[in-house]
Structure formats: structure tokens, C-alpha cells
Amino acid sequence: MTDSPKTITVTLAEPVKAGKETYEKLTFRRRKAKDLVAMDLVKGELRKHMAMLASMGGVPLPVIEELDGDDYETVSRETIPLMGKSVATAMATAGAKETEAETVPSDE
């Protein structure tokens, strides 16, 4: 099947309070087709990503929307292995290009 994990838990640096619930950790499962459908229910590219994360984490969308900026970046990065092969490959390729650009000497 696949070597990627089935779930990933991210401990939040800044807990999120939504309603009566306080979230200190979020656990995300592997992406399913229904998570992609959740993206269609909202407008805006960033909100679509947030809707997918909320669906994968089994939490209401406002929980993801209220994440601290650093926590959102951490969640986005840590959940890449759960997104499937095409996303993981694209991110690895983008990371390699970014690293390559950082090591290429400038003409200054």
C-alpha cells in the first residue's frame, strides 16, 4: 500500500478555543475524497485548504481559521505526508528547487 502515516498529531503552540472546546492538539488522518468535496463548500483558495484540513482533522472549520499563523504553517507542513503521493512529490520537488536556489551563488 503506502509508507505514509495514517494519522499525524500536531501539538499547537497556541491552543484554539471554539465554543466550549479548547484544542491543544489536532489529529489529522489521511486525505480522502470527501475532504476534497469539503473544499467545494467554501470560497477562496486559502479557505479551501483550511476546509480540507478541518475535514481531515474532524474539527469545525472555525478551529482551523483560528489557528495562530505559526501553528497553521506547522499543520500545513506536517500534514503533507497525509495528502497522497502527488502532493508529497510536488512538495518535495518544490523544496529541492528552493534549496537549490538558496545554494546557487549570486552574481553580486
Phi, psi angles (nearest 5°) of residue 78: -70, -25
Element (H, E) at 33: helix 33-40
pLDDT at 1: 44
pLDDT at 5: 85
Of 35, 34, 33, 70, which is closest to residue 50 (Cα–Cα)? Answer: 35
Element (H, E) at 71: helix 69-78
- What predicted TM-score, i.e. pTM, was given to this entire model? 0.79
Query: pLDDT digits over 45-97, tens only?
Result: 999 999 999 999 999 999 999 999 999 999 999 999 998 877 666 666 665 55
Q: 46-53 long-range contacts, Cβ below 8 Å, gap at least 24?
A: 49/76, 53/28, 53/79
